[in-house]
Amino acid sequence: MKAQAVSETLEPGATVSGVAARYEIMPSQPTAWRRLAKEGTRDLAAMSDLPASPFDACDQATGRVNSQALVRYKTNDYVQVLRLLETFDIDDLHAAVKKALQLGAVGFDAVKHLALCHVEKRPPKLDLDIYPYLPRANVGTTSAASYMSLLSGDAA
């Protein structure tokens, strides 16, 4: 896929943005791949073995919907998560992204926290008090009297 995307960007009249849109990737990715190919640090055939992003493995399992939802949610968060590859191993980051998508916590802070917890082999503590801008669910508790009225048939 990478080699094909790079070769398409080199065709006359092709734009990096157009190729990126066809492959549903960020435009910076084919640009970086072109630079690697020009520098000779990676040949195009070897690049096809590397994952494009930590979201690719999740996409294979879940059908490309989740990473695109993350991109639409906040492109800046997506880029920040990709930058976590500078710090974390791709397998650790993949596990964190997969867990974040399962939890519906698609923000950078949550993914970083989950990656740290995965590396340190400890359970995550996603405390919503730290994130006052996130929507909260208000779930009321049911009293025992309410259950008793349901059982007796006196419910309104």
**Full pLDDT tens readout for the chain, 156 residues:** 777 787 788 788 888 888 888 877 777 777 877 777 777 655 555 555 445 555 554 555 444 444 454 444 456 677 788 888 888 888 888 888 888 877 777 678 888 888 998 999 988 877 667 666 665 655 566 677 777 777 777 655
Residue 11 lies in domain:
1-50
CA 77 to chain CA centroid, Å, is 9
Of 98, 87, 86, 90, nearest to 124 (Cα)? 98
* Burial of 19 per CB tally in 10 Å (0-12, 13-18, 19+): buried
Q: What is the model's pLDDT at position 80?
A: 81
Q: What is the model's pLDDT at position 56?
A: 53
Q: Does any domain span residue 3?
A: yes
Same domain, 37 and 60: no
- Total structural domains within the chain: 2
Q: Which two tokens stand for residue 149?
A: 């009225």
What is the Cα–Cα distance from 67 to 73, expressed in whole angstroms?
10
What is the Cα–Cα distance from 138 to 113, expressed in whole angstroms?
24
Q: Does any domain span residue 155?
A: no
